[in-house]
A and B are shown apart, each in its own frame.
Chain A
């Protein structure tokens, strides 16, 4: 019906839009449940954030602090109060850094994690995909074995191993790069590689498997048969199709990189949000824990959504279906 009135292109536009809206609406229950689980879990621990073992505060001071932050109310009311604020874009104050709100903390530290995650994704894509393609095109040759051995090794070398090794080799022995901290591009090189290599290995294996499948397809044989140059067959006919499954993992991969940068942030003393989260959980800085969790969940869901959209754009055969 609408196709008659609007034409095909507009119809498709509307389909994408409704899909987008439905998927974004799914964010509401997800964030609701996850925020509730997090909130009640962290409040289930006895005691309060102002307990200090070495320098205990007088009980009156603790009572005043609790009253100030509404910690003396029932937990469900605190939760509603928090969510009310969060919906209006106010994630509350930080208990520990008293002059900063959670909004300030996220605005300052999240971009660092985001940039680090993006750079690592770049490393993963630039190394992983070509490695997978070469490996597939030279299947069962030395090049293939070497690339796949590198890929399995890459998966097996965690950031906890690679970080100190790079730091020792490149910074301390050779003096090529600064040892740690964040600010200049030189300081970003080692963290980005530490975080990206493992994901590059995953991408390489996936690209290889997908490419091997695609180059056996009929349309690739047809393209060769009609005399298309080998280069064009690979780039235009095979690669475009082989990359579809690869693109689907980029979303979760990116989310994993942004939310999983805690190790690297700790090793290289980078002031990212992950590092902040670890500290805030230990110190029971409730609003910071909540804010970070909600933000990371949203990143995860939106990254997956972006991939699904890209997916239908690369491969028009795939229809968007809201689930």
Chain B
């Protein structure tokens, strides 16, 4: 067939045309992505479990058979059974209840941490990419330096500074006292969130900068500028909306990593304050009695892996749905 010559389009029957129109014609990017997401069975399953976990975490006080800190000293290390569905730990606390309350910590740190990191990273990266030149260069050198910092070491150091610096003695300043009491009220979660947000925005800043750099040269941005739009307006109206799609994907795919980081921090004793249950802290307690009561370390481990798996399936599905070019 000669280039440029197309066969005449076959006239579709009316019913066919209506179906094509209703499926394709009036579909926005988001409807299209939503439809593709629903077609991905693993992503739907992952998303459903995530919603379920969120519900469980939100309704924890109603669903948990006991309070997470309530110990029964005659039932220490009880086997899973009628009394304690998943057994009891070394203080006779119900493992299931602690898992349910632990979901609150994992999900909050994972989701809130990813969102904070996203906001910092996108703000930083967009400004650097859009400003360009010397400002961009300087801002990106900072990012390079942070990249060279072993992130686990940095976050451990930050948490120790927060905990020892704020937590130990009575501080005269009202702000510090407010921060400390807020952290206490959150079971020690505030400092973890701060540490995670401060260390994990760097990758997102690079992504946002790259996108801002390429978007800056597109026709619609040039047009907006030619019409006299100020930089602030261009960034908010034309750059940020284009970052939402990749942003959602990045945030979802970041969540499992942050959940693992929280578990790790609680595992080494820098996470939540006891008796607040965290899956990582439960594994740390369980590992000491691995030989006789392995379920104490294994159940929270399974909860951790299951949650991360669901977020990964959902994130992969979102990526395929929002950016079909990425799909292999």
Contact = CB atoms under 8 A, between A and B. Distances in A.
Decide if A and B are genuine partners: yes
B178 interface: no
B50 to A, nearest CB: 13
B193 interface: no
Given A160-B264, A284-B164, A297 B157 contact: no
Among A162, A168, A208, the most chain B Cβ lie within 10 Å of the Cβ of: A168
Contacts of A162: 301
Among B153, B279, B283, the most chain A Cβ lie within 10 Å of the Cβ of: B153
Contacts, number: 127
A161 B148 contact: no
Interface string B124-164: 00000000000000000000010011101100111011001
Interface stretch (B9-17, B242-250, B304-312): B304-312
B301 A164 contact: yes
A30 interface: yes
B324 interface: no
Contacts of B312: 152, 155-156
Contact of B156 (A29, A33, A46, A281): A281
A34 B164 contact: no
A164 B165 contact: no
A34 B145 contact: yes
B264 A38 contact: no
B169 interface: yes
A260 B168 CA distance: 29
A259 B153 contact: yes
B301 A165 contact: yes
A316 interface: no
B321 interface: no
Contacts of B279: 160
B326 to A, nearest CB: 9
Given A164-B301, A172-B291, A46 B169 contact: yes
A318 to B, nearest CB: 20
Contacts of B256: 155-156
Interface in B232-278: 256, 260, 263-264, 267-270
Contacts of A42: 157, 160-161
Contacts of A281: 156-157, 160
A105 interface: no
A179 interface: yes
A154 to B, nearest CB: 10
B299 to A, nearest CB: 10
Nearest to B295: A168
A297 B148 contact: yes
B260 A160 contact: yes
B283 A46 contact: no
Contacts of A29: 145
Contacts of A284: 160, 164
Interface in A150-178: 152-153, 155-158, 160-162, 164-165, 167-168, 172
A278 interface: yes
A278 B145 contact: no
B14 to A, nearest CB: 36
B53 interface: no
A61 interface: no
Contacts of A289: 157
A4 interface: no
A259 B156 CA distance: 12
B86 interface: no
B214 interface: no
A44 B163 CA distance: 12
Among A46, A164, A167, A297, the most chain B Cβ lie within 10 Å of the Cβ of: A164
Given A44-B165, A156-B256, 13 more contacts: A41-B158, A47-B168, A155-B256, A156-B312, A160-B267, A161-B301, A161-B304, A161-B305, A164-B283, A164-B297, A167-B294, A172-B290, A284-B164
Interface of A: 29-30, 33-34, 37-38, 41-42, 44-47, 152-153, 155-158, 160-162, 164-165, 167-168, 172, 179, 208-209, 212, 255, 259-260, 262-263, 266-267, 277-278, 281-282, 284, 289, 292-293, 296-297, 300-301
Interface of B: 145, 148-150, 152-153, 156-158, 160-161, 164-165, 168-169, 256, 260, 263-264, 267-270, 279-280, 283-284, 286-287, 290-291, 294, 297-298, 301-302, 304-305, 308-309, 312-313, 316, 328
Query: Which 9 A/B pairs are nearest by Cβ-Cβ distance?
Result: A161-B301, A156-B309, A164-B297, A156-B308, A296-B150, A161-B305, A168-B294, A158-B260, A259-B150
